[in-house]
Amino acid sequence: MMCGIAGVYREKGLAKHNKTLFINEALQLSSRGDSAYGLFSEVGIIKNLGSFSKLNKNIIYNIDTKFLLFHSRAPTGDGVNSIANTHPFVSKDFI
C-alpha cells in the first residue's frame, strides 16, 4: 500500500468550499494509509497517529490559510506508533 497525498491552494485564501473539497479528498486518500496523517498550512503542522477520519474537521474550517497539504501513511519500518515518522517533515529550507 502507498501513502496518500493531497493539497489545495488559492491565492485569495481558502474558502469553505475549498476546505470541504480538501477534506473529502483527504478522507478518500486516508484509505491509502490510516496509520497516521499530517496536515501543513501557513499556520503550522498537525500530526496524529490513526485515521484522518477521526480529526475534528472544524479545525480545518477554522484555519485561515492560502494552502493545505495532506499526507496519510501506511505502517513503516519504524512501526505504527511512531509520530516521529509521520509526514510532513520540516527541515531548515524545505517541507
The pTM for the full model equals: 0.81
First to last CA, the chain: 23
Per-residue model confidence as pLDDT tens digits over 41-81: 999 889 888 888 889 999 999 999 999 999 888 766 655 66
The whole-angstrom separation of Cα 37 and Cα 46 is 8
Q: How many CB atoms lie within 10 A of CB 2?
A: 9
Rg over CA atoms, the chain: 13
- Angstrom distance (rounded) from CA 38 to CA 18: 18
Sign of the Cα torsion 50, 88, 19, 32 reads: negative
